[in-house]
Amino acid sequence: MTRVACIGECMIELRQAQGGQGGGLYSRGYGGDTLNTAVYLSRLGIDVDYITALGDDALSDEMIAGWAAEGIGTKRVARLPGKLPGLYLIQTDDKGERRFFHWRDSAAARNLMDLPETEDILNSLASYDIVYLSAITLSILQDVGRERLLTALKRARLLGTRFAFDTNFRARGWPDLNVARKVFSSAFEGADIVLASTEDLAPLYPGESTTALLAGISSPEVVLKLAEPACILRSTGGSGEVRAEPLTKPVVDTTAAGDSFAAAYLAARLGGAAPADAARAGHRLAGVVVCYPGAIIPRYAMPPKKAPRPSTSRKASS
């Protein structure tokens, strides 16, 4: 049985060539927060499906082929005739600072909750051990679609599925912060695991202390990543701080640090690790990822796998 489903959007990425300015050359790739997590979950030995909507174009075909090559299941990818994936462009200045430009208003993924196959997709969520999605996933859906997805997750939880929510917050996706706060509150109430950060939550709850931010998350298991290389963990077994080990290489690119942390944390929990050990695994993988350019590091750079303890049931690691 597939263990994890990741729900979200993957976009076409245009990245400015090193040293390029203005009308310089751009390289093409793909990117998406939940897709990055799916890749790292697969590399960590977890069976994972990616749930999204794409067009029927050659670029969408290329995406699916790439995901399959990473061992990610694509049977839940809806294909929409005449639609295209979203696109974003990264522009880098001479100091290495990056700016992002998005074209996603008519992207296929925005229609994921409004398709003939949507009901089958939502019913399938109960077949997974964990369903993982982020605030970006919810931001691309309309109100009705968000409610439909969160309601389906409630049903799936009654049958043993756990819901993991990542607070990956991007202000451009939430023009009304009151709407964002309402959606976050619903996700917190419905989630079994919340992977949060002070960086994500500070714009939503300005002036709140770390203690207050943590208290505002009602989920039974919470990882709150801090500005420094550490996180605060709260679970039924207690709470405390888990610090990352010092890096032995310079930081090159922080892209997908949070996505890879989430993958290693969830993989460890599925393997029976305690939350604190899972947080340490998250720190280790994120610490490797930030030492390489781009969201997905070379396969040879992946840390050695640690054999997980077998779980006796879907609830064994909760």
Which active-site residues does the annotation give? Answer: 259
Question: Quick check: helix, strand or coil at residue 263?
Answer: helix
Integer Rg of the chain from CA: 19
Contact 9, 137 (CB under 8 A): yes
Across the beta sheet with 11-16, the strand order is 26-31, 11-16, 87-92, 98-103
- Beta partners for residue 131, in sequence order: 5, 163
Torsion of CA 9, 7, 134, 42, to 10 degrees: -100
Is the Cβ–Cβ distance between 98 and 92 less than 8 Å? Answer: yes
User: What type of residue sits at position 192?
Assistant: D
Name the one residue in this structure whose structure tokens are 């550490």: 230
Cα–Cα distance between 67 and 48 in angstroms, integer? 11
* CB contact at 8 A, 7 and 52: yes
β pairing state of 130-134 and 4-7: parallel
Answer whether 161's CB lies under 8 Å from 192's CB: no
Nearest to 94 by CA among 19, 25, 23: 19
How buried is residue 172: exposed, middle or buried, by Cβ count under 10 Å (0-12/13-18/19+)?
exposed
Q: Which residue bears the tokens 């949060």?
A: 196
Give the Cα separation of 135 and 138 in Å (integer). Answer: 5
The burial class, CB within 10 Å (0-12 / 13-18 / 19+), for 77 is buried
